Amino acid sequence: MTAAPMQPDVARLEPAPAPGGALQRLRRNPAAVVSAAMIASLVFAAVFAPWLSGHAYDAADRANVLVGPMPGHLLGTDNHGQDLWARLLFGARVSLAIGIIVEAIEVLIGVTLGMLAAYKGGVWDTVLMRVTDAMFAFPDLLFAILLVGILRPTSPFAGFLTVFVALALVNWPSMARIVRGQALAVREKEFVEAARAIGVPDREIVFRHLLPNILSPILVAATVDIANVVLAEATLSFLGIGIQPPFPSWGRMISDALPYLRSAPMLLVYPAVALALLVLSFNFLGDALRDALDPRLRR
């Protein structure tokens, strides 16, 4: 008598988990180490800004306006007598908060829509991808400027919410495209087909089999895109339609420093250097993560 065929063992068909060599490869990458240390330092400075600054970000010293480094003002003051060191620290808090929160919203929207389009296919895939294509038809920055102009923040807090909404809405399509492409490739693997064959629910297939196997490209894309979000926020603030006073923003500080470029060039240098360091750190860390998580480098 012929034995009954055995049901496929999903766990046996799944790809083996990646070895723990990614962290070791990151540690051996000088750019990754320096970038991670720079980001950690800026995060520490942003979190503890009220204790490290020594001044409120909007406190004005009218007796010392446009002065260089002096006792009580580590980096000097701006044209309003506000302490530059304090504004740089609180500006780091603004940039990091917007970068991380906007990227979290973008990942949530992009992963949800990309996974839905890839797994469901058919009409779902067609409609969602056409919406994504329509979003790509607009230049990101111009679309963000349009949204900010429509929403018209009337208060500093409303300016925060407007920037969050505008940047999240213009950045999710790229994440959705990445997730859809990766999920389509994993959907055809044997372990996913085996899971379907034995009746595993769709939700469990997505969260247990598809999503864990595409986390690496999502993590890399999110890390690099934080730099793009920070730069976009600085651009909006530079144009005067982003973060509104009295909250400090590095983009706004650069804009305010332009009239004093000859008499007080450090007003522009400090925020520009801080912005460049933050953006470069996330870009270098994202490149290092891509190399470390590359399956071709796993031995």
> DSSP letter string over 165-228?
HHHHHHHHHHHHHHHHHHHHHHHTSHHHHHHHHTT--HHHHIIIIIHHHTHHHHHHHHHHHHHH
User: What is the average per-residue pLDDT within 28-45?
Assistant: 91
What is the structure's pLDDT at 109?
92
pLDDT at 12 over 60: no
Mean pLDDT of the chain: 83
Its pTM stands at 0.84
User: What is the average per-residue pLDDT within 37-52?
Assistant: 93
What is the structure's pLDDT at 17?
43
What is the structure's pLDDT at 187?
82
Q: Each residue of 174-183: pLDDT tens digit?
A: 899 999 988 8
Domain boundaries, the chain: 20-297
Q: Each residue of 88-107: pLDDT tens digit?
A: 999 999 999 999 999 999 99
What is the structure's pLDDT at 125?
86
User: What is the average per-residue pLDDT within 276-296?
Assistant: 86
User: What is the average per-residue pLDDT within 28-33?
Assistant: 86
Q: Classify domain 20-297 by CATH architecture.
A: Orthogonal Bundle (1.10)
Question: In which band, very low, low, confident or very high, does the pLDDT at 18 lie, cut at 50, 70 and 90?
Answer: very low
pLDDT at 11 over 90: no
CB within 8 A of 190, min separation 6: which ones?
A: 13
d(CA 151, CA 242): 11
What tokens appear for 222 in the block?
């999110």
pLDDT at 14 over 60: no
User: What is the average per-residue pLDDT within 160-177?
Assistant: 85
Please say whether the beta carbons of 5 and 271 come within 8 A: no
d(CA 296, CA 299): 8
